[in-house]
Structure 1
Amino acid sequence: MGSISSYGTGAGKRYRVRYRDPARQSREKGGFTRKKDAEDYLADITVATNRGEYVDPKTAKLSIHELGVEWMANQSHLKPSSLRTVETAWRVHVEPAWGTRRIGEIRHSEVQSWVTKFTANGGKPRSATVVIRAFGVLAAILDIAVLDKRISSNPARGVKLPRKGKKKRAYLSAAQVELLAMHAGEHSTLVYVLAYTGIRWGEAIGLRLSCLDALRRRMLIEENAVLIGSQVVVGTPKTHERRSVPYPSFLSVPLARACEGKTRGQLVFGAGDVHFPRSNTEGGWFIRAVQAAQKDDGTFPLITPHDLRHTAASLAISAGANPKAVQRMLGHASAAMTLDTYADLFEDDLDAVSERMDAARAESIVGVSWGLKA
């Protein structure tokens, strides 16, 4: 596999290791002060080669910038909104800090120190989401380096990350939805659709007349219009899968009115040819409706359009829908995801289960006692 030879230097005797890599290229490494160190190095090279784990020392000289540019070019499978956040994390946080570093020189302790300082941000802590996303980009680039056998292990793995705090969700009651819809005026139908179907904002404004089945009261969700910067990008739903979502009968008439004068290929909300703009400014209709509702109801929470999706989940669960039905309605990847996301809404079910079990035991005791008397 290889050989070890000695040679003289001004500092004394040294040892050199010669070997052939898996591609049968001749390699050597010198500078060992002890023959045992040279023997250990050769043994490690031999084992790594036999296991298919050999790493060419030259490839470890590549920089994070070189690999990062290539990695970013391969992220085209991501949805535009996700790609934008990943690209921002790479451009703003990862490339400036690590771009010039060689992948073979990066140490685990350095990555941990970066995460710690990055989180603190000079006394103005960054959100856990920003830190975790930036770390994820660096770790993913190094993962590829490991898979390509440029380095033997990923120094970023095992780093302790900040914990994400669970944001308390705001759920509207049915009465509060009515109040919001009333103040939304001409946009009340959109409020009802978001609050009673759970579809996302982008899915609602991407809804076309051809996707409405009035007889079965179903919406076919197959488009998602997302605002990226100042441009609306239309793609598939978040999970890439179409789904059929039911809507309550009271929405039949408002939806029919929204469709009047339009062709089957036009959009339900808005003028029909241009996607309805998102109301996310302080002076927008949605914020004004929320503020008006808060004046009428002191318990009305400050919400965004996306919170109506959570409201839909709450109303469905309160109506007795099982997790699988809620999952299909919301378009989650699995019922487990629905349970994890809305675990707080299922807490009341524990009391109901306990009460039903208590009732079942009471019935069984009555049955047993009657049997004994007979």
Structure 2
Amino acid sequence: MATIRKRELPSGKIVWQADYRDGSGKRRHKQFTKKGDADAFLLTARGQVRAGTHVADSQSKTIDQAAKLWLAQVEKDGKERTTVDRYTETYEKQVKPRLGATKLNAVTAPTLQTFIDDLVGTMSLSSLKKVKGCLVSVFKYAVSRGLAAHNPAREVALPESNRGRKRPEMPTKEELRSILTNTPARWQPFVRLATVTGMRASELRGLKWSDVDLAKGLVHVRRRVDKYGEFGPPKSGAGTRDIPISAGTVAMLKAWKKDCPSGDLELIFPTTTGAVEGHANLLHRVFHPAQVAAGVTTKTDKVDGDGKPIMEAKFGLHALRHAAAALFIEQGFAPKKVQNLMGHASLQMTYDVYGYLFPSDDDDQSKMAAMESGLFG
């Protein structure tokens, strides 16, 4: 039987004690300074006991304890090392310092909302999403193991997705041509294919000759390679896709196939020994030097021996993916087609990033003039 009684502690302090039995029949109690708080707790606890979700304070684990169990399970489930590393880094750097010692059953949605609100302005929206995703996953694991009654992280709101969103930076057509011209011949097929397909660098690094149908002019995106050189599926289900290529690109690949280093992996863009090429190598030994040679640079705060500003490459490899999307849109591909070619998980994602590039067939100026004429005469 659940009851609430008034008690005087040896210190003389008056408290209200809620007594109840948990799901296993064990007697539990919790003290409050206000009777209303005791009433509210007992009402919630009784409902949780009936639902089989109640966790007593003494049995509740901390967020840190639950997070370690969750991360161990993620690794056991065979997630890619880069994924495990990302989860671990987000938890260790953002969540643990402030919330790690807090018990799961003491965490409320307002508690987590305040935590997220305090982070707004200190990091990008994508980073905020990772922090929330980490909390949601920890509590989801805890609920499934009976360590928490519910998942308060699901109720946390993030800032509006479009607030402060920057348009992606990408090379112009002239810059693209100049970069390709100044890229070493050995790597021109890589830069060209990235530009005309919009494939992610990880997908290109994992691309095999068996993934390309040179007769039909199709590239089948079926895998990617992480920073450890390990193969895995594309970033999302939508990442598995087929991308058409022109006769000119097919001819380029046929010519490159004759000189491509051979290896057991049968990669299209391997190292000289046929192994997986590293992202950093492509960036710092190929793409960045090609931009500097092409004059596609930006000024840094550093100066050389003569006191002149040191110039550095303007773009990362992902800029080629943005450029490809812009080219698709310029050619008149429908939004849904652009989504499919880019491997976006949703059409909304395509619009969020590239919506401003899609042309409008409406004569907006004429409509505005008509609106004002009807209003002002």
**TM-score (normalizing by structure 1):** 0.75
Q: Which moved more, 1:142-151 or 1:164-173?
A: 142-151
1:117 and 1:151 map into 2 onto residues whose CA distance is 26
Q: Corresponding residue for 1:133?
A: 130
1:35 and 1:71 map into 2 onto residues whose CA distance is 37
Instruction: Give CA deviations for 1:2-53 in whole Å, capped at 9, x if unaligned.
Output: 4667888765998766544343x14243768999987776555444445556
State the 1:179 CA deviation. Answer: 1.5
The 8 Å contact of residues 198 and 320 in structure 2, kept in 1 or not, is answered as yes
> What is the correspondence of 1:149-188 to structure 2 with a 5 Å cutoff?
150-151=148-149, 154=152, 157-158=155-156, 165-186=164-185, 187-188=187-188
Q: Corresponding residue for 1:311?
A: 323
Q: Corresponding residue for 1:196?
A: 196
The 8 Å contact of residues 258 and 269 in structure 1, kept in 2 or not, is answered as no
State the 1:161 CA deviation. Answer: 5.8
The 8 Å contact of residues 107 and 152 in structure 2, kept in 1 or not, is answered as no
Q: In structure 2, do the counterparts of structure 1 residues 272 and 244 end up closer, same or farther at CA, with 3 Å as the change threshold?
A: farther
When the two chains are superposed, the root-mean-square deviation of aligned CA atoms in Å is 4.0
The 8 Å contact of residues 132 and 161 in structure 1, kept in 2 or not, is answered as no
> What is the correspondence of 1:1-374 to structure 2 with a 5 Å cutoff?
1-2=1-2, 18-23=19-24, 25-29=25-29, 44-50=44-50, 54-60=54-60, 62-76=61-75, 78-106=79-107, 111=112, 114-115=115-116, 125-145=122-142, 148=146, 150-151=148-149, 154=152, 157-158=155-156, 165-186=164-185, 187-227=187-227, 231-240=228-237, 242-260=240-258, 262=262, 266-270=266-270, 271=272, 273-279=274-280, 283-294=284-295, 302-346=314-358, 349-350=359-360, 352-354=361-363
2:177 and 2:15 map into 1 onto residues whose CA distance is 84
2:180 and 2:20 map into 1 onto residues whose CA distance is 76
Q: In structure 2, do the counterparts of structure 1 residues 290 and 222 end up closer, same or farther at CA, with 3 Å as the change threshold?
A: same
**TM-score (normalizing by structure 2):** 0.74
Paired residue type of 1:93: Q
Q: Which structure is larger by alpha-carbon Rg, 1 or 2? A: 1
Instruction: Give CA deviations for 1:134-184 in whole Å, capped at 9, x if unaligned.
Output: 344235424544563634662784466697742321233444322211011
Aligned length: 344
For 1:244, what is the secondary structure of its paired residue?
A: strand
State the 1:212 CA deviation. Answer: 1.5
1:156 and 1:242 map into 2 onto residues whose CA distance is 29
1:75 and 1:119 map into 2 onto residues whose CA distance is 27
Unpaired runs of 5+ in structure 1? 359-374
1:297 and 1:149 map into 2 onto residues whose CA distance is 52
State the 1:118 CA deviation. Answer: 5.2
Unpaired runs of 5+ in structure 2? 300-312, 368-377
